[in-house]
Structure 1
Amino acid sequence: VNLDMVLYAPPGFDTLWVPYDDQSQALAEFVQAAAATYVPALDLVIEYDPSATYSDHASFWDYGYPAVLGIEFDVDNNPYYHQETDLLANYAGYWPFGTNSIRGAIAAIAALAEPIGPSGTGDGAPAEAGSISISPNPGTDSFSILVTSGMPGDADIAVADLSGRLVWRASAQCPGSPVEADLSGLPAGVYLVRWTQGTASGSSRLVKL
């Protein structure tokens, strides 16, 4: 998630433009949804534009990684762009837009972040270590999901969309082999994969292209 020029916002142009390429639509839609949820004052528009290669996100595109750019909608008319007058004082009137743009990016990154280590509730005893791995991720139709846990037995694996709707579920033996999740009938997007085993649980993001 790359921000580049996010302070110039004259009336009518206080919009954050987020272009994406073929591999990045799901990420762009996730950023849009996160901003709408946590920073509703930010006007954010996503657009398919693989020609928008003029910032740091383009290197990720070149190597096959999803990435998005957030930039001023009217950047071409910014009178301070690449000028000696490109000073913070000249953007004082646009702070709500600039700070909201950053808040939107932070919201998306925080929502995508994966917790490290086990989680759970119980009698105060240390939780057994556990983790989940998904491959490939991002992927298209089929995903291998492996739960690694210090406790033998079955683990429940559930996949939900961003609205919380359950879209796939299976059980896996621990220790054991990965289970294959066929998500070919689902639209592209970001999904939450959660595993539970007794009082232990964990989660990870799955990106379907």
Structure 2
Amino acid sequence: MKKIALSILTVSTFLFGSCSNEDSSSPENLAYNATTNVTLKAGSVSSSRTKANNKPHEVDSVVVSVSSLELNVDGQTVTFTKDPGTAYIDLLSFESKDTLIWSEEELPVGELHSAVLGLDKDEDSYVVETDGNHADLHISHKELDFDIESDSAIAADTKYVIKLDMAGSLRLVKKGNGGYNLQQGTAGAPKEGVLILQKVD
């Protein structure tokens, strides 16, 4: 039995997708000669409840659908995407390895300034409680923000792993109707997750 306050490691599920590289000003000037894998580590998910329902609750699964990752590299926008319904992740079933969401995607050379992970609110998101009950999950923040940690310079002819760590920024709030809200950066939780750009030797 897993409690929602469990500190999460990572899972070995492999989810492959596509990349679209968007530059609103001059796409022909971008040099896409670096590559990356993108992995997700949920960190920890804290729990709380509304006043309308103050009974303790435990859950075994928090399932969401990933839709995109948007990166800002020197003012240029690069977006990796997933087809609808193809990238479901259970935030409470991580075990030993990073969840690989994108593989061998192209990156432009430059400084990485920001990152936003998109969740698909149109796909089914849900919580599985310890008694087996499935409850609706409302995605309060469909765009999850990440702070860039350490060196974020992308060099030519280099391979990277982009590590996304939710770093305790997610909260699961039980509502009075039995459903849940998934939130980022509320009630004192960190406002952002952490992105680490790791060079592959």
Report 1 or 2 for greater relative contact order, CA contacts < 8 Å, sequence distance ≥ 6: 2
**Rg larger for:** 1
TM superposition score category, shorter chain reference: under 0.3
Question: Structure 1 or 2: larger strand share?
Answer: 2
